[in-house]
Structure 1
Amino acid sequence: MSFDLAVWFESGRVSVAEATRTYERLCEGDLAGAGVVANEAVAAFHRELAARFPDLSEAEGDDVRVEASPWAAGLDVSAAHVIMPISWSRADGTAPEVLALAGRHGLVCLDPQAQVLHRPPAQRGADGLSLRPCVGLTVEDADPEVIDRAVRRLSAENWFLILERRSGHFLQVGHGPNAGLAADGFAVEHREGSMERHYRCVVSGRGEVAALVADYAAGADTWSVDVQWTGLF
């Protein structure tokens, strides 16, 4: 198995569902059905990627280059897209570099494992949320459905997430014993500016957590769940 990432060019903002359909067509070899078009940014991305991480086919016979390559198999490349199968053992170090490179070239990058679409800076909102999960890649300008899935995936191992605005305000969730709670407990904290405006509540229902996170992501003035917030400072 491998940890896969796919990049291509989109002229406008597309949804995760639309990007997933594009990816599925690309995996089937149906470029026409995928709707992707050749773009010099894709070629430039691939050149820089190959210079940093050699394709296995190009490194064949060179043990040093093969060892240096993070790929689990050959890349799927056209003038319109690149699909990269990363070895699981190398994913933590390689995937962030791929995301950064895609962003510099103005390309979208789909993580099909987590169903997350990483957009280039030009397609992000003015005050988009940064989502940092305990397990997985940081998502800039995260969509509501991506944020909700991150909440649903909280577990004993994947035990926290942080949502941060460009203003520096944030909301974070901790789950279970790693957060100093019972196995079914969730601690939600949010900070709006100074330390004196840092608050915390503890709830046991995942639905309550999802609602609080959705309220924060939407920029709501009030909370839709009746909880007891306690100031931490």
Structure 2
Amino acid sequence: MRPAAAVPAFYAALVADYPESSEADEATDESSPWSAGLDVGDGYVLMPMQWGRAAEVAPRVIELAGQHGLVCFDPQVGVVHVPPALRASGALHLQSCVGLPVSDPDLETVERAVRRLSAENWFVILEDPSGRYVQVGNGARAGAAAGGYTVEFRDDSPERHYRRVLRDREQVVSVFADFMRDPATRPAGVAWEKLSL
């Protein structure tokens, strides 16, 4: 199905789950997650969502878009959610403490996630389909001193699990960029310490 042809079907499925409020009901209808009417055009649907409903509604919107072969762009965080049929083979999966998971993220999205680490948004994980991953935790929750980052890399087995505490956020960004280039190779530039689990 061509994207422009898929949009009406996506819109129909979307409003079946989350109806738009009529103008007469808008002031009193609290069941709708939309803060204004949906804007439907040739090849797109713009959805102004109530902030308090985003955690509940956004995952379903992304799922429906994927079912119709459409990408979904979240302008709040600058992330494009790619449907499974359009993802690259071996696509990585990104998860932050705050926000929705992102499949097949680009380098900019990964770097932005790492740079947004804070006391409240304290971890980021990037994983490939085989179970290899690199993850970082910020501060005391991750076992690092204030301002520190506990970074771990795990190859495909517990025997190849490594860790390092870093102080430089840009070095952490570099570790994630290395993993994106080649998940099967331990990221360079870090004196990794093997973990015994």
The 1:146–1:77 alpha-carbon spacing in structure 2 relative to 1, beyond 3 Å, is same
Which fold has the larger relative contact order, with Cα–Cα distance below 8 Å and residues 6 or more apart in sequence? 1
Aligned equivalent of 2:15: 50
Q: Do residues 97 (structure 1) and 97 (structure 2) align?
A: no
Structure 2 residue identity aligned to 1:42: V
- In the TM superposition, residue 68 of structure 1 has moved relative to its aligned partner by 1.5
- In the TM superposition, residue 173 of structure 1 has moved relative to its aligned partner by 0.7
1:15-164 alignment, distance < 5 Å:
39-57=4-22, 60=25, 63=28, 66-164=29-127
- In the TM superposition, residue 222 of structure 1 has moved relative to its aligned partner by 4.9
Identity of aligned residues (%): 49
Structure 2 distance, partners of 1:59, 1:210, is 50
Structure 2 distance, partners of 1:109, 1:50, is 16
C-alpha deviations, 1:5-41, integer Å up to 9, x for none? Answer: xxx93xxxxxxxxxxxxxxxxxxxxxxxxxxxxx221
SS class of match (1:161):
strand
Structure 2 distance, partners of 1:59, 1:127, is 49
SS class of match (1:171):
strand
Structure 2 distance, partners of 1:59, 1:123, is 40
SS class of match (2:90):
coil
- In the TM superposition, residue 227 of structure 1 has moved relative to its aligned partner by 2.1
- In the TM superposition, residue 83 of structure 1 has moved relative to its aligned partner by 0.6
SS class of match (1:173):
strand
SS class of match (2:136):
strand
TM-score (norm 1): 0.78
More displaced 10-residue stretch of structure 1: 150-159 or 193-202: 193-202
Question: Structure 2: any 5+ residue segments left out of the alignment?
Answer: none
TM-score (norm 2): 0.92
Structure 2 distance, partners of 1:200, 1:59, is 58
1:5-24 alignment, distance < 5 Å:
9=3
The one of 138, 142, 167 equivalent to 1:179 is 142
Structure 2 distance, partners of 1:58, 1:121, is 36
Question: Structure 1: any 5+ residue segments left out of the alignment?
Answer: 1-7, 10-38
The number of residues matched between the two structures is 195
Q: Say what the alpha-carbon RMSD is for the aligned residues.
A: 1.9
SS class of match (1:68):
coil
SS class of match (2:49):
strand
Structure 2 distance, partners of 1:203, 1:70, is 42
Structure 2 residue identity aligned to 1:211: S
The one of 185, 189, 192 equivalent to 1:228 is 192
The 1:61–1:72 alpha-carbon spacing in structure 2 relative to 1, beyond 3 Å, is closer
